[in-house]
Amino acid sequence: MRNALSVQNLVKRFGTFTAVNNVSFDVEDGKFFSILGPSGCGKTTLLRMIAGFYQQDEGTILFNGQDMEGVAPNKRPVNLVFQNLALFPMMNVHENVAFGLRRRGEKGAAVERKVKDMLERVGLPESGKKEVSQLSGGQKQRIAIARCLVLEPTVLLLDEPLGALDAKLREHMKVELKTLQAKVGTTFVYITHDQSEAMVMSDRVAVMNNGAFEQIGTPQELYHAPSSSFVAQFVGANNKLSVSLRRGEGGELLARYANGLDFRLSPACSEEATDEPFDLFVRPESMVINPPEGDGRFNSLPVTVKAILFDGGNSRLLVSSEGTTDEFTVALPQTRQFDDIKVRDTIRVGWDPSASLCFRKSDWKLYDEE
């Protein structure tokens, strides 16, 4: 399959600050590709270079194999959906969608046909005469996308378009956008700091940090096989334990925890025993509450229950490790078998060594940790 977009060794500097540092990626035609990262990581700068609003200092941008060097934004086969949508309040829905067509000189029945077809494709066939003020948040979202798609861009760029919506509508629009993209077949490049948006909607995701890509992969690859401590923390919920590595009596690699306990590691861990600090990650759903005594399949850790976080199917226990200040979350199974657990109870949590990941300690923090 051909690449609708190819970015090669892209660099953007502002004075002495490098906002985008040697970024390369390809997006296949018709795919949904997301760039995920924290605020200030460079993702919007990258998007603006692709759109042509910023000139790159180094590197190449190609649409369908054609180099965009020196090509103005309005001449590129790309359109951009902004977070604030930028719909024209003085125009009705039909006029908003037709605006770009008329700007490039199209007239008459051809415009009417294209607008009618596009409104049907985004599921709003009867909305042409409505004013923008009469639309719901989700409808405005679809009209903003329709206004771009009617111009038949090679790539549609979306800069955090769900950021201004309330939580309930945002959840709904994730499904809407994924369904719409699959229906129209246009290549989407989506910018977000929300990992749930990226994971739910995308065929592939690039995780960005400090101006560079840490990892590119499918949502499943990023979740189950992160390539760095940053990706492990940023994609999905993860419990982080600070450990050092040592060799056991049988030569096996063990993680020594702050309270003196040793944990067995996944066979995939290829690090060497060292006094350097490491981050050991275990996802909440991989932790088992009160594993059978003496069951050699699990690492085991005594903890105290600090809070019960009820959230339906996402309910968790917040626990603290004895002898440390660390806190973890443990997924609560929906079988109700642990309904008798109370705050301040002492329990054990366990996990299969193969469910853990180990990386050299990173200075990056998801929250302001002590």
Structural domains of the chain in order of their starting residue, each with its CATH number? 3-230 (3.40.50.300), 237-360 (2.40.50.140)
* Residue 7 CB partners (closer than 8 Å, separation 6+): 23, 24, 25, 26, 46, 50, 59, 60, 61, 62
CA distances to 10, 64, 180, 187, 203 from 30, in Å: 23, 12, 12, 4, 10
Q: Which two tokens stand for residue 23?
A: 């970024």
In this predicted model, what pLDDT tens digit does every residue of 300-319 receive, in sequence order? 999 999 999 998 888 999 99
The Cα 247–Cα 265 span in angstroms is: 11
The Cα 189–Cα 169 span in angstroms is: 21
CA distances to 208, 221, 233 from 15, in Å: 21, 36, 31
Give the predicted TM-score (pTM) of the model.
0.89
Q: Quote the pLDDT of residue 370.
A: 42
Q: Is residue 318 within 8 Å of 307, Cβ to Cβ?
A: yes
Q: Quote the pLDDT of residue 13.
A: 97
Q: Quote the pLDDT of residue 366.
A: 61
Can you list the residues of the chain whose pLDDT is less than 70?
Answer: 164, 270-274, 363-370
Q: Quote the pLDDT of residue 77.
A: 94
Q: Quote the pLDDT of residue 364.
A: 67
